[in-house]
Amino acid sequence: MGIIINNCRRCNTCNLVLCPAGNVKKAAENGKCFECGACTLACPYKAIKLDKSRREKVRVTVDGKPVKVAGLVKDALEAAGIDVGKSPESTIFMPCECGGCWACAVKIDGKLALSCITPLSEGMEIKTKIKSPLRAISGFGAHMVGGVGTPYYLKESIRPIEVVGFTHGCNLRCPQCQNYRIAFTAKAPLLEPKETAKILLGLESIYITGTITFSGGECTLNKEWLLETMQRIKRERKVNIHIDTNGTILNPKYIDQLVKKGMTQIGIDLKALKTRTFQRITGIRDEKIAKEYLKNSWSATEYITNNYEEEVYLGVGIPYNKKLITIKEVKRMGEKIRKINPEIQVCVLDYRPEFRRQIIKRPSFNEMIQIKKLLNNEGLRTVIVQTTHGHIGP
């Protein structure tokens, strides 16, 4: 009971999951699975299925309130009447559900723990009113190309243009995720802002790029951690800080805070215009959440343009693959961006077979050039397309 593994291809991705039983495969064999579901999110072959067993209820307290419930800490929070969810407005924001972001941290018997994957046990005292000082982050290094928010005039450099850290955990479930080993896993150094800032500043001293980038996964999920890390960087050195994001949980207040803590570049990956397309691309089944996320990413684009044109370099991403989005919708996205500001840098990303969506074909070079022409004709002045022959654009 717990999980069933069928047709495992031994890619080992499940070994990167923070399995509360210690090891996904052993948990499947010996029935010790706690049914958190993290491994089912990460497995690229959908080889792991949850098989919910009847767990015994235990007595725990949540902020002093007694509840009797079975399962994980998140079940106890819900049983205590706390709003737990994927909306950033939730009392306990639980966006990744894989142990990567630490946004859902609580204290259990005085120790920090994750409500999304921690199994309940008798007598636990759970406290929710805490700040999470940790985040799983890996892949520190220097990059030559950058991302959607990297200014086009830096992209052709022959030396590294930014140093980067990849935060684990993502609130989206994109079946064609290009970075699933970061987005759905958590086995990585768990770092406080101070340690993270030190590593990134150390790398920046070596490569002298002038820019530090937070990418992921989704770097905005654990707000306190990100803002404090940025503040520590800014306090030490005057560098550009680049936020590479899907923009789905940004709001004006959060954007103001990011700018105040030193954000100078942002790349927002706009996934679609229509909710159904957004759901197809991101794998978000809940229509209400999909609508909220999509609205937030477009509103963030507009808000930054209207309020921080001078301080922040803004780039936006547009997806393209004919199986996922129509040319008509891409055109309408272009129109909408042009109305916000025709000068916004637009990067069109050629969605290729990755992760669970292996049946799509990477768009051809010619298709991508056609998309570039289409968007240029819409009045967008800076359009870069990602192609089989590298980036094409100004």
Catalog residues that contact ligand FES under the rule CB under 6 A.
94-97, 99-104, 114, 116, 169
Calpha distance 168→97 (Å, rounded): 11
Nearer CB in complex with ligand FES: 138/240: 138
β-strand partners of 346: 316, 383
Residues in the chain: 394
- At its nearest, how many Å lie between ligand FES and the CB of residue 134? 10
Nearer CB in complex with ligand FES: 169/334: 169
| Residues in CB range of 355: below 8 A, 6 or more apart | 44, 174, 175, 176, 177, 178, 180
- At its nearest, how many Å lie between ligand FES and the CB of residue 181? 16
Q: Which of 164, 96, 92, 158 is nearest to 129 (CA)?
A: 92
- DSSP 3-state percent helix, strand, coil across the chain (nearest 5): 30, 25, 45
Contact criterion met (CB below 8 Å) for 98 and 38: yes
Report the chain's C-alpha Rg in angstroms.
21
- At its nearest, how many Å lie between ligand FES and the CB of residue 357? 23
Nearer CB in complex with ligand FES: 114/161: 114
- At its nearest, how many Å lie between ligand FES and the CB of residue 219? 13
Calpha distance 381→152 (Å, rounded): 12
- At its nearest, how many Å lie between ligand FES and the CB of residue 293? 15
Nearer CB in complex with ligand FES: 41/337: 41
